[in-house]
């Protein structure tokens, strides 16, 4: 049997965007992913659905597997001919025991490769606004374990030389031993007034930072109830935090936002929220699936010459339509004789990406806005083709019909309820673990509310944000209070409205 290969991949300190391109490439070809505690689930999604995922994380005294077991697991999978990714937090060779795993693989003749990662020793202080070196304050730094192997007979840290040897000291896994670390540093020459920062959950939206000095940091951390995992930074560079902090003062920092778009669309909303400091929780309230019987949409495409208008109400409709267009061995030329309408800039942009410029996009991105614009055109007797969701409402159809148009509405795709995701959303809402819930269509409202029966859920302070008036109206009818309504009915517009809401709240609280 062919021997496999093991990649020791550093995943970075927490923010999934900090993994290297090569690390993602390794995940894409992995047969097996052996992963640590504290890794973002988004990274596991970079592997194929068929890849085996094995958790071997360690939290304090609780270990899913001991290190010897992990070593054996990597060897076994390698001997089975598998491509294995050992996904480790931070960098594999910086206090990550990657060296021990590499030794075990070498001993057993298993090919391996090390893919370095960004160590938390540098990234976590950076996300807290603390450079570990600075031309005027620090020319050197050292990375030190704050939790040595308890089986070692003696410490390998020479505190007498370490305490004053370098300008900046960074302790990883040092929270439990913070009092001892502080005592040792003061005992061996560091002044009690030396600035200190303790950073919990670094590079994540839950990041918290407590600053002080060697004299008072232990009591400050205790009073703040800060716990592991935390990075401890000692040195004059800590003074720069208030001036350079950038990550934890963004407008939506720390807000947990429920993203209820379909799995196919959630990433764009999540990305914009993350850029503003929020923590997106992707729990799609709808799932987009192709229609099983394509005869109706296929016949409509083949008979496009009989229509005057082709109207798209969403990006999903565009994608579904063009999938069938291409399946029929046709391309954009088939649309040359019809007038193209699009509701919303995102829908129009998706069309542009297909090589089609929409002839008509209403100023207000709603069915009502679309019909209002048609009143200026003579559409009596004209035929409209509407490829859209199987559960779309009648507002657009009725509006065009009242103006004398003839509408042929076809189901281009199905929207279904992903029961597992919705059940998780229900639990999070009941437990008060969500700050904002976003609704990007009426169907996302209806599907999520179906979990709670006739009674609306106890939102426990959760704000409700809607992309437009129709979605907001559905939410109100379902018994929800809409706190945030986008003035521009787009995903960027929704995020901007959420940001304005919380900025205004912050200013009001400060007055």
**Residue positions annotated with a catalytic role:** 36, 58, 173
Gap between the Cα atoms of 132 and 13, Å rounded: 16
Q: Are 90 and 98 in contact (CB under 8 A)?
A: no
Gap between the Cα atoms of 130 and 356, Å rounded: 49
Contacts for 278 with CB less than 8 Å, ≥ 6 apart: 205, 252, 253, 254, 255, 256, 257, 436
Residue 22: which H helix or E strand, with range?
helix 21-28
Gap between the Cα atoms of 327 and 324, Å rounded: 5
Gap between the Cα atoms of 266 and 282, Å rounded: 7
Strand pairing class (62-63; 256-259): unpaired
Q: Are 148 and 97 in contact (CB under 8 A)?
A: no
Which of 151, 154, 153, 132 is CA-nearest to residue 143? 132
Token pair 């894409």 in the structure block, residue = 28
182 φ/ψ angles, rounded to the nearest 5 degrees: -60, -45
Name the token pair of 50: 């068929």
Residue 35: which H helix or E strand, with range?
strand 32-35
Gap between the Cα atoms of 499 and 492, Å rounded: 10
Q: Are 34 and 54 in contact (CB under 8 A)?
A: yes
Q: Are 107 and 93 in contact (CB under 8 A)?
A: no
Question: What is the largest distance, in Å, between two alpha-carbon atoms of the chain?
Answer: 91
DSSP string across 120-154: HHHHHHHHTT--S-BTTTBS-EEEEESS--TT-SS
Task: Give the angle 400-406-408 at the CA atoms, nearest 5°.
Answer: 100
Name the token pair of 253: 């920092």
Where are the alpha helices (H) located in 276-364, listed in sequence order?
295-302, 315-327, 345-353
Q: Say how many C-beta atoms besides its own lie within 10 A of residue 41's C-beta.
A: 9
Three-state DSSP string of 2-31: CCCEEEEEECECCCHHHCCHHHHHHHHCCC
């Amino acid at each position: 049997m062919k021997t496999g290969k093991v990649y020791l991949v550093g995943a970075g300190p927490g923010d999934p965007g900090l993994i290297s391109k090569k690390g993602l490439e390794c995940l894409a070809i992995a047969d097996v992913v052996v992963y640590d505690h504290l890794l973002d689930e988004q990274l596991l999604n970079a592997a194929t659905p068929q890849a085996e995922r094995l958790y071997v994380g360690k939290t304090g005294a609780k270990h899913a597997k001991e290190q010897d077991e992990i070593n054996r697991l990597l060897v076994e999978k390698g001997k089975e001919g598998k491509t294995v990714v050992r996904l480790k937090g931070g960098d594999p060779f910086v206090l990550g025991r990657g060296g021990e795993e590499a030794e075990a693989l070498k001993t057993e003749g298993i090919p391996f490769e090390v893919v370095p990662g960004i160590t938390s020793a540098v990234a976590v202080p950076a996300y807290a606004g603390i450079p570990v070196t600075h031309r005027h304050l620090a020319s050197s730094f050292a990375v030190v374990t704050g939790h040595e192997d308890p089986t070692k007979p003696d410490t390998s840290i020479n505190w007498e030389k370490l305490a004053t040897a370098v300008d900046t000291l960074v302790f990883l896994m040092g929270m439990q031993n913070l009092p001892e670390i502080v005592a040792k540093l003061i005992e061996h020459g560091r002044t009690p007034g030396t600035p200190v920062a303790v950073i919990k959950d670094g590079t994540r939206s839950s990041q918290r930072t407590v600053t002080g000095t060697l004299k008072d940091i232990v009591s400050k951390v205790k009073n703040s109830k800060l716990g592991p995992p935390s990075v401890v930074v000692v040195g004059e560079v800590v003074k720069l935090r208030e001036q350079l902090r950038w990550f934890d003062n963004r407008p939506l920092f720390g807000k947990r936002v429920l993203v209820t778009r379909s799995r196919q669309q959630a990433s764009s909303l999540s990305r914009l929220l993350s850029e503003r400091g929020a923590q997106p929780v992707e729990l799609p309230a709808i799932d987009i699936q192709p229609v099983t019987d394509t005869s109706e949409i296929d016949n409509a495409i083949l008979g496009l010459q009989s229509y005057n208008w082709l109207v798209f109400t969403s990006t999903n409709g565009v994608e579904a339509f063009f999938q069938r267009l291409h399946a029929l061995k046709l391309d954009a030329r088939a649309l040359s004789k019809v007038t193209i309408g699009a509701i919303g800039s995102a829908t129009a942009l998706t069309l542009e990406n297909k090589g089609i410029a929409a002839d008509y996009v209403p100023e207000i991105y709603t069915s009502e806005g679309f019909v209002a614009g048609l009143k200026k055109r003579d559409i009596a007797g004209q035929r409209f083709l509407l490829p859209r969701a199987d559960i779309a409402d009648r507002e657009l159809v009725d509006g065009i019909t009242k103006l004398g148009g003839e509408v042929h509405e076809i189901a281009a795709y199905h929207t279904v309820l992903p029961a597992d995701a919705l059940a998780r959303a229900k639990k999070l809402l009941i437990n008060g673990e969500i700050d904002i819930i976003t609704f990007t269509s009426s169907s996302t409202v209806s599907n999520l509310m179906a979990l709670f029966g006739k009674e609306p859920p106890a939102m426990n302070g959760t704000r409700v944000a809607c992309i437009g008036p129709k979605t907001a109206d559905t939410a109100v009818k379902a018994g929800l209070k809409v706190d945030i309504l986008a003035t521009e009915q787009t995903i960027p517009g929704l995020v901007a409205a959420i940001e304005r809401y919380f900025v205004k709240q912050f200013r009001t609280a400060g007055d």
